[in-house]
Chain A
């Protein structure tokens, strides 16, 4: 499978714990995005990378959230001191190219439940 893969598919954690998600984009895709999606809503932008550089972060992304993309390949999203409001589907997407209008390829997401 050469699509975008995310791990784990599901994560259940207790409030206050730290969690880390991984995204492996399609190889050679230089742009990588993280989104958050809650039931009944469209995806909400969190952050994006061009190669290894994190170029933009949403104002919604509190200091408990951090993302990395070392070497411009896979990316990790860490949430520290999780809260119940963090429960959502976390989506990763990647694309190739410098044009603003390139389509995104999405992974199946990581469903986070904070108890």
Chain B
């Protein structure tokens, strides 16, 4: 079965420090991987995606993610966290050819000043 796991319910980081939000996946074939962010009272927003090519993908708001095929991971990273990065982050993978996204449960990121 194809799935996505976000092992941390919550991540706490001090402002200015680097942050990592973890995601691992299980999918047959080549994965299409995504990160979305959800701010309070707002819709989900696309951050970045991995389709093929360079394992380091750069996205919106200074975020990047590293695709690691051997570890089946797609961790989200940012070199220097901002308080405004505090939000709920979701990792997702496309399942097969039917355009369905399979979502992780989300990780709440809290950046403390």
Partners in one complex: yes
**Are A31 and B99 in contact, CB atoms less than 8 angstroms apart?**
yes
Chain B CB within 8 A of A106 CB: yes
Give the shortest distance, in Å, between B6 (CB) and chain A (any CB).
Answer: 8
> Could you tell me if B34 and A103 are in contact, using CB atoms closer than 8 angstroms?
yes
| A93→B92 CA distance, assembly (Å) | 14
Q: Does B98 contact A (CB under 8 A)?
A: yes
- Which of B4, B46, B105 lies in contact with A40, CB distance below 8 A? B105
What size tier do the contact residues of chain B reach?
A: 20 to 34
Question: A107 near B94 (CB under 8 angstroms)?
Answer: no
Closest chain A CB from B45 CB (angstroms): 7
Residues of B within 8 A of A104 (CB): 36, 44, 46, 101
Interface size of A by Cβ–Cβ distance < 8 Å? 22
* Bound CA–CA A48/B105 (angstroms): 21
Determine if B51 and A42 form an interchain contact, defined as CB atoms under 8 angstroms apart: no
- Rounded to whole angstroms, the CA-CA distance of A41 and B38 in the bound complex is 12
| CB-based contact B32/A100 at 8 Å | yes
Is the CB of A70 closer than 8 A to any CB of chain B? no
How far, in angstroms, from A107 to B90 measured CA to CA in the complex? Answer: 16
Whether A56 contacts B105 by the Cβ 8 Å rule is: no
Nearest A residue (CB) for B4? A42
Residues of B within 8 A of A105 (CB): 46
Q: How far is the CB of A55 from chain B (nearest CB, A)?
A: 8
A108 contacts the other chain (Cβ, under 8 Å)?
yes
A107 x B43 contact (CB < 8 A):
yes
Contact pick for B103, options A42, A101, A108, CB 8 Å: A42
A-B contact pairs, 10 of them (CB 8 A): A42-B106, A43-B44, A43-B103, A45-B101, A100-B32, A101-B94, A103-B49, A104-B101, A106-B44, A107-B43
User: Which A residues are within 8 Å of any B CB, using their own CB?
Assistant: 3-4, 31, 40-45, 48, 56, 91, 93, 100-101, 103-109
A-binding residues in B (CB < 8 A): 4, 9, 32, 34, 36, 41-46, 49, 51, 90, 92, 94, 97-106
